[in-house]
């Protein structure tokens, strides 16, 4: 399906983009806006209450057309169809990629190996509804009969970042008596800090591990189990632990009733799994109705991605702009800045989505690539980050494209807070685009009463190069539906990038080497076994740590 013996950077469309870059590289966005008063309308796409404004980018109609030609030459339409049809587009692991099936609200059949997967998916959703409602209504209680109001999700990677991000994003929808906690880090502090805050009689633990063998997750789970058993006895485990897994044998061995095991599938990668039973903590916090509204929002974006022409397709244009900057301008990083405190974990979630998916250097033809793939992604909540890394974004030597995300209406309309927030996000995008020349800086200081000598001395320090690109997402309000749309857009963007770069976005083999080596070092730290087979630095550090621990 993916073809053989070709390199993306040898395609005709790629070569055309290289020529376009040479002609266009020094074009100023402020000049583009001056020439076209309707630029924002031309370079914006809306889907229901979500608008993606990409007018503050270093493109024109010719560049956009060249980028679209690249998508066409990579047969993007066929690849999208293949994903939705359940073909095994995860080549290295020979798996289908069907997180879209998890939120297939149209319920059309989707087949994997000739079998419609929708009945099983809907069965698990129904089981999630039954269980979450029983807990929220106090019908499923703890060992001593108390209502379970502390939800502790134990997982790592996609089994942690997705649910944690979504629960925080939808905090205003939590049941009043519910509290959610997340344990992922193997550092014992992560466990200790959560266990110190909760009452065992009122706590439900959700262990999220497909194989039920992930060392970090199982170590944390066993620590929590011991804490519970010490407080309530061995028989309490079945009333205070549930599992999201496929390994019924190990789940039962842990002491969990297999009736309280929620299944998910090989065609769902960890970082794409919050739409599945991995999202049980979300359903418990906000209710299954709101969880399904999140699925509805994602489905709306899925259908837009599948059916809209590429020129009016939000994820496709997001991806093409990213490739334009990564591979032609050689910008090696991007920032995501949500101007909504509830979205504070979105950048961390997207770090995994983008860098684990596309942080690859070998293509689908088993060749090392000769072009850039995933950028480094970082970010944080505005306005806080304006006082941390925005200095570098505005005046640093590296150009870092930004995505701004902002709701028009806040859940907390307190005084002038939201208007000030909105003013800040709009100002940042405009400032990055326009910049400030040394002449403008000089004249501004003179008007402010500075002496000519001082203005001359400071004008370079107070100038901004501008011409720094950004996208802005505006939606009405952060609700479950809007969250689903937003996250699905970034998922599909990541997929499109992988298609263009001709890499497998759905494996994560780079995660494995460090884990394998950790397993060989662990016995040396636990015992007095001699340090062996390590480089001099690692052997020295092992000895140093063992000496300090003694």
Please identify every residue annotated as catalytic: 356, 387, 515
DSSP string, 332-354: -EEEEEESSGGGTTHHHHHHIII
DSSP string, 371-386: S--SPEEEE--TTGGG
Q: Which residues contact 53 (CB under 8 A, 6 or more apart)?
A: 40, 43, 44, 471, 472, 473, 474
DSSP string, 130-189: HHHHHHHTTSSB-TTS-B--EEEEE--THHHHHHHHHHHHTGGGS-TT-EEEEE--SSHH
Question: Is-contact 431 395, C-beta < 8 A?
Answer: no
In the chain, count H helices and then E strands: 24, 13
Q: What is the largest CA-CA distance in the chain?
A: 81
DSSP string, 73-98: HTTHHHHHHHHHTT---BTTTTB---
Detail the DSSP E strand segments found in 240-393. 241-244, 261-262, 333-338, 376-379
- Alpha carbon of residue 78 to chain centroid: 25
Distances 348 to 58, 90, 204, 387 between C-alpha atoms, Å: 27, 24, 25, 19
Three-state secondary-structure class, residue 45: strand
Tokens at 426, concatenated: 């709009």
Pairing state between β 203-208 and 241-244: parallel
**CB-count burial class (<10 Å; 0-12, 13-18, 19+) for 77:** middle
Cα angle for residues 196, 202, 208 (degrees, 5° grid): 80
Distances 299 to 294, 305, 413 between C-alpha atoms, Å: 9, 10, 29
Q: How many other CB atoms are there within 10 angstroms of residue 327's CB atom?
A: 21
Distances 172 to 46, 179, 478 between C-alpha atoms, Å: 26, 12, 9
């Amino acid at each position: 399906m993916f073809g053989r013996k070709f390199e993306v950077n040898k395609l005709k469309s790629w070569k055309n983009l290289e020529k376009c870059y040479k002609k266009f590289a020094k074009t100023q966005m402020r000049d583009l806006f001056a020439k076209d008063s309707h630029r924002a309308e031309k370079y914006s796409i809306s889907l229901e209450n979500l608008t993606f404004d990409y007018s503050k980018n270093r493109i024109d109609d010719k560049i956009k057309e060249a980028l679209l030609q690249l998508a066409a030459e990579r047969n993007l339409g066929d690849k999208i169809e293949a994903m939705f049809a359940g073909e095994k587009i995860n080549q290295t692991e020979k798996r289908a990629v069907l997180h879209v099936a998890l939120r297939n609200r149209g319920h059309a059949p989707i087949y994997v190996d000739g079998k419609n997967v929708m009945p099983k998916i809907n069965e698990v959703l129904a089981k999630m509804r039954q269980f979450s409602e029983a807990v929220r209504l106090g019908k499923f209680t703890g060992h001593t009969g108390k209502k379970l109001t502390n939800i502790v999700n134990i997982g790592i990677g996609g089994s942690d970042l997705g649910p944690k991000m979504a629960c925080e994003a939808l905090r205003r929808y939590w049941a009043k008596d519910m509290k959610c906690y997340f344990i992922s880090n193997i550092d014992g502090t992560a466990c200790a800090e959560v266990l110190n805050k909760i009452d065992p009689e009122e706590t439900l633990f959700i262990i999220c591990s497909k194989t039920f063998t992930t060392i970090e997750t199982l170590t944390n789970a066993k620590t929590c189990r011991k804490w519970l058993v010490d407080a309530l006895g061995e028989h309490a485990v079945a009333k205070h632990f549930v599992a999201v897994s496929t390994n019924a044998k190990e789940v039962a061995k842990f002491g969990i009733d297999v009736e309280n095991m929620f299944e998910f599938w090989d065609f769902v990668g960890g970082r794409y799994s919050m739409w599945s039973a991995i999202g049980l903590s979300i359903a418990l916090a906000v209710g299954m109705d709101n969880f399904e509204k999140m699925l509805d929002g994602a489905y709306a974006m899925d259908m837009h991605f599948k059916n809209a022409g590429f020129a009016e397709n939000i994820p496709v244009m997001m991806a093409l702009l990213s490739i334009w900057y990564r591979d032609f301008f050689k910008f090696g990083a991007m920032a995501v800045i949500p101007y909504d405190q509830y979205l504070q974990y979105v950048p961390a979630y997207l770090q995994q989505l983008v860098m684990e998916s596309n942080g690859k250097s070998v293509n689908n033809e088993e060749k090392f690539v000769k072009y850039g793939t995933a950028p480094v992604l970082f970010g944080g909540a505005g306005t806080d980050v304006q006082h941390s890394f925005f200095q570098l974004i505005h005046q640093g030597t590296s150009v870092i494209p930004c995505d701004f995300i902002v709701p028009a209406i806040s859940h907390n309309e307190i005084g002038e807070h939201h208007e000030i927030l909105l003013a800040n996000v709009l100002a940042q995008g405009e400032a990055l685009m326009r910049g400030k020349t040394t002449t403008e800086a000089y004249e501004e200081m003179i008007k402010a009463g500075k002496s000519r000598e001082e203005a001359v001395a400071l004008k370079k320090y107070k100038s901004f190069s501008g011409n720094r690109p950004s996208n802005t997402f505006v939606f009405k309000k952060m609700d479950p539906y809007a969250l689903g749309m937003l996250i699905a857009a970034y998922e599909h963007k990541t997929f499109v990038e992988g298609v263009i770069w001709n890499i497998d976005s759905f494996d994560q083999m780079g995660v494995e080497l460090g884990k394998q080596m950790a397993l060989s070092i662990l016995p040396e730290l636990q015992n007095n076994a001699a340090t062996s087979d390590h480089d001099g630095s690692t052997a020295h550090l092992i000895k140093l740590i063992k000496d300090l621990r003694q």
